[in-house]
Amino acid sequence: MDLWSGRQNIIANSWSLSVTEKQPTTLKSASENDFPKRNRNQLTIYYFAYGSNLWIEQMVRRIGPVDRSDGWPRRVSLAGYRLVFDMQGEDGNVYANIEPKTESNVLGVVYRCTPEALQIMDQYESGYERRQVSVISENGERLDVTTYVALTDHVTSVGNLPTNEYLKRIVTGATEQGLPEAYIREIERQLHK
C-alpha cells in the first residue's frame, strides 16, 4: 500500500483524538538557514515528530536551526501505531501521543538532531519519555528513530479534546511537511468537535 498517495485508507483506524501538546516556556529564535554546516557531521540522532513538532518554526524556536539539507526532514510512516490525544499535560490540556494498534500508521517526519538538541526537547516534552521505534521513509528506507511517548501516569481516558490552537500547529506542520491531504483532514476534523 502506498502511504503517500493521500488515500483515505491511510488513516482508516489510525485516529483516536483526545491529546495535545504544551506551550513552550522559553523560545529560541534562529533561522532554519542558520544551520551550521559543521553541525551536519555531528547529527547522530534521528527524531520522529508526529504532533506539533511537525511545524518547523516550532522546532527552530525550541532547538535552534533545523537541518534542511539533503532531503531532511524526511516524511515517514510508523506502522502498528495510531495517533491519539490522551497525554494529560501539567496545564490540564491534552496532547498528541502514539499507541500500538495493529494495521494502523502514524505519519510524521524525521529530523536529524544532536544529542544536545534532544536534551533541550526533553524540557518541552515533560510527561513523555523517549522511545526507540522503526519508521519507513517514502522511498522505503528503514530508520531507527527516537520519539516521545506519554508516560503511563500522564495518559488520560477522560476523552478531552486538544485545544484548537494546538491542533492548528499540527495541521500547519503537517501541511508544510507535505503529509497526505486525507491525513491532514482527519486532524482538522478535531477542530470541529
Full residue range of the structural domain in which residue 98 is found: 8-192
* Amino acid letter for position 155: V
Please report the pLDDT score of residue 131 as a whole number. Answer: 98
3 assigned to some structural domain: no
Beta carbons of 93 and 166 less than 8 angstroms apart = yes
DSSP H helices in the chain: 56-63, 115-124, 164-176, 181-188
Is 138 inside any structural domain? yes
Would you call 109 helix, strand, or coil by DSSP? strand
In total, how many domains does the chain have?
A: 1
The CATH number covering residue 129 comes to 3.10.490.10
- Phi, psi angles (nearest 5°) of residue 152: -55, -40
DSSP 40: G
Evaluate whether residue 24 is within a structural domain: yes
Q: Which residues neighbour 192 within 8 Å (Cβ) at sequence distance 6 or greater?
A: none
Tens place of pLDDT per residue across the chain (193 aa): 455 554 333 333 333 332 333 333 333 334 444 444 545 455 579 999 999 999 999 999 999 999 998 889 999 999 999 999 999 999 999 999 999 999 999 999 999 999 999 999 999 999 999 999 999 999 999 999 999 999 999 999 887 889 999 999 999 999 999 999 999 998 888 766 6
